[in-house]
Amino acid sequence: MSDTKAILATAKKTIETEANAIHQLASYLNEEFSSAVECIRQSQGRVIISGIGKSAIIASKIVATLNSTGTPAIFMHAADAIHGDLGTIQNQDVVICISKSGNTPEIKVLVPLIKNGGNKLIGMTGNSESFLANQADFVLNTFVEKEACPNNLAPTSSTTAQLVMGDALAICLLELKGFDSNDFAKYHPGGALGKKLYLRVSDIASNNLIPQVDIDADVKTVIVEISEKMLGITAVLQDNKIVGVVTDGDIRRMLNKHDNISGLTAKDIMSTNPKTVATDVLAVKALELMQDKGISQLLAVEGDNYRGIVHLHNLINEGIL
């Protein structure tokens, strides 16, 4: 038990230390941050982000975030840059160098080369008096009072601050560009996230069988249709228009209510005013409707025309839920 308490106490202290560092970070934002954002937005090139050690790992993540939110970015390791990769930087590119101390040997070599190329340089550093801060056109202050590491050595709070500062840059650029969910879908076509942004009801309903019976169909026909189409439901049509649905639940209720089902038709057991969803609606919206109504199927319609069924299981299989 004592070990458990000690572990949880250390974890809590780590989180609190880093949370305090992030909270303090907001107070460092100033016009220089705004100018850095504008510099990137107005650039005709890309954002090249460089760093060394743990800062290089954070740089890679910021690159990924920028790319996914509409700002072209490339990672360039500071050590590799001074050994042949400097050609990554093109004339119109903006360069961000990340370094806690701002005084690492690689940064001291790299920064003058960037300046000689005429590129705008944004320094992200925790040392406002450093070489990087003095040479940069814009400085993003990521100073932290202490690392979460008890020895105040392992980059923890400082790398978290760098990560958050990068997110702040990315989101500011996203909003300034009017980057919306449709744009986001273009950059995230794969996986559950992408599907939430582009998969529509028509995409799902078209993969299912289309259960339907006439309003005067006998009960056996209804049961067979539900069974064969394997969706737990069938639409009931009259003159090719939806007038109701029969579900597995309706069948059970019918059997509980009637000892003799001979002579019963779809009209006698159907539920009227079924819930429908337009085929051009996003699948995630169909899920919200199901959850709101407490149901597991919706009739997919195109105008007044019945196009099939979208089932909760379809959405689960697609990773929407």
DSSP code string of 43-97: -SS-EEEEESTHHHHHHHHHHHHHHHTT--EEEEEHHHHTTTGGGG--TT-EEEE
State the pLDDT at residue 15.
Answer: 96
> Averaged over 102-128, what is the pLDDT?
95
State the pLDDT at residue 315.
Answer: 87
Antiparallel, parallel or unpaired: β 233-238 and 241-247: antiparallel
| Beta-bridge mates of residue 298 | 310
Backbone angles phi, psi at 308, to 5 degrees: 140, -160
> Averaged over 88-116, what is the pLDDT?
95
SS3 136: coil
DSSP code, position 269? H
What residues contact residue 70 under an 8 Å CB cut-off, 6+ apart? 173, 174, 177, 179, 183, 187
Burial of residue 115 (number of CB atoms within 10 Å: 0-12, 13-18, 19+): middle
pLDDT tens string 1-19: 469 999 999 999 999 999 9
State the pLDDT at residue 68.
Answer: 86
Query: Residue 167 and residue 173: Cα distance in Å, rounded?
Result: 10
State the pLDDT at residue 192.
Answer: 59
State the pLDDT at residue 199.
Answer: 85
pLDDT tens string 271-295: 999 999 999 999 889 999 999 999 9
Return the ∠ at Cα 305 (arms to 301 and 308), rounded to 5°. Answer: 50
pLDDT tens string 64-92: 999 988 899 999 999 998 888 899 999 99
CB distance 129 to 144 below 8 Å: no
State the pLDDT at residue 194.
Answer: 65
State the pLDDT at residue 193.
Answer: 64
* Residue 187 pLDDT grade (very low, low, confident, very high; cuts 50, 70, 90): low
Query: Residue 239 and residue 215: Cα distance in Å, rounded?
Result: 9
> Averaged over 159-171, what is the pLDDT?
97
CB distance 319 to 287 below 8 Å: no
CB distance 211 to 226 below 8 Å: yes
State the pLDDT at residue 90.
Answer: 93
The mean-pLDDT minimum among 151-155, 176-180, 253-257 falls in: 176-180
State the pLDDT at residue 319.
Answer: 81
DSSP code, position 270? P
The mean of the pLDDT values for the chain is: 92
